[in-house]
Amino acid sequence: MNLVLFGPPGSGKGTQAERLRNKWKLRHISTGDLLREAVAAKSELGQRVESVLASGQLVSDDIILGLMRDAILAVKKDATLSGWLLDGFPRTVGQAKGLDALLAETGSRIDAIVVLDATRDAVIERLSGRRTCTQCKTVYHVKYNPTRVDGVCDKCGGKVVQREDDRPETIARRLDVYEAQTRPILAHYEGRVATNVIDGDLPVDDVTAKIERVLHSPGGRTAA
């Protein structure tokens, strides 16, 4: 099964992806995580994109489509996986068209799009309070999901910090970019891919339960 988790920054895509991936045997592919890994590794790609991430703007479609091509082909070769779970991609109409071409080439399809529809106030509060482990990347929230010991990851003991782009000015820019460049993509899939809108303002467990329900319902997935 191939899924796209769609929604503004802070709507809970990464949180839900972590819960869905094991159960459905999916590879969680987050373009944001891939780019942050490149920045941390100081690779050539990382050096090219570092300032773009810090500013809250989007990295070019060419770079993103190159990363996704490798990631999707790797899943195709891995017999232990049943598909992928995209988080933070596609983010522009150009990326959606590039993904169409990649799917046609590999004989795959998107089985469902899950839209986490969260209000601006909710996502601002979540992004402002989000903290991330620098080592294992587990995501916390100072209020909704705090670490047991301040600044220390419960899972691996790594240092838990605030992401550079989770600061107020950058959060506002990222939400504006989402409205201008990413939300319009949904029209691209209308009538072609089953699209399920879920209230992303609900507590984490309720959102997971609703996603599970649509994935099990006959209309929740794209007809063959």
Residues 6+ apart with CB under 8 A from 75: 27, 29, 81, 83, 84
Task: Indicate which single residue of 144, 152, 161, 183 sits in contact with ligand ADP (rule: CB under 6 A).
Answer: 144
**Shortest Å distance, C-beta 187 to ligand ADP:** 21
The rounded distance, in Å, linking the Cα atoms of 87 and 5 is 5
Give, as one character, the DSSP assignment of residue 182.
I
Asked if residue 13 binds ligand ADP (CB under 6 A), the reply is: yes
Task: Indicate which single residue of 89, 140, 178, 189 sits in contact with ligand AMP (rule: CB under 6 A).
Answer: 89
The rounded distance, in Å, linking the Cα atoms of 199 and 118 is 6
Pick 9 or 83: Cβ nearer ligand ADP: 9
The single residue of 91, 126, 210, 221 carrying the catalytic annotation is: 91
Asked if residue 9 binds ligand AMP (CB under 6 A), the reply is: yes
Does residue 91 have an active-site annotation?
yes
Does residue 173 have an active-site annotation?
no
Does residue 163 have an active-site annotation?
yes
DSSP secondary structure of 123-151: HHHHHHHEEEETTT--EEETTTB--SBTT
Asked if residue 202 binds ligand AMP (CB under 6 A), the reply is: no
| Interaction partner, residue 207 (ligand AMP, ligand ADP, none; CB < 5-8 Å by kind) | ligand ADP
Contact letters (x/-) for ligand AMP, 40-59, by CB under 6 A?
Answer: ------------xx--xxxx
Bridge-based pairing state of the strands 130-133 and 160-161: antiparallel
Asked if residue 31 binds ligand AMP (CB under 6 A), the reply is: yes
**In sequence order, which ranges of the chain are alpha helices (DSSP H)?**
13-24, 31-41, 44-55, 61-77, 93-106, 120-129, 168-177, 185-189, 204-216
Asked if residue 203 binds ligand ADP (CB under 6 A), the reply is: yes
Asked if residue 200 binds ligand AMP (CB under 6 A), the reply is: no
Contacts (CB under 6 A) with ligand ADP, residues 78-137: 126, 129-130
Contact 162, 131 (CB under 8 A): yes
Does residue 120 have an active-site annotation?
no
Listed as own residue / partner, the contacts of 206-213 with beta carbons closer than 8 Å and 24 or more positions apart are 207/12, 207/16, 207/116, 208/16, 208/19, 208/20, 211/16, 211/20, 211/114
Positions in the binding site for ligand AMP (CB under 6 A) = 9, 31-32, 35, 52-53, 56-59, 64, 88-89, 91, 95, 165, 174
Positions in the binding site for ligand ADP (CB under 6 A) = 7, 9-15, 126, 129-130, 139-141, 144-145, 202-204, 207
Catalytic residues: 13, 91, 130, 163, 174
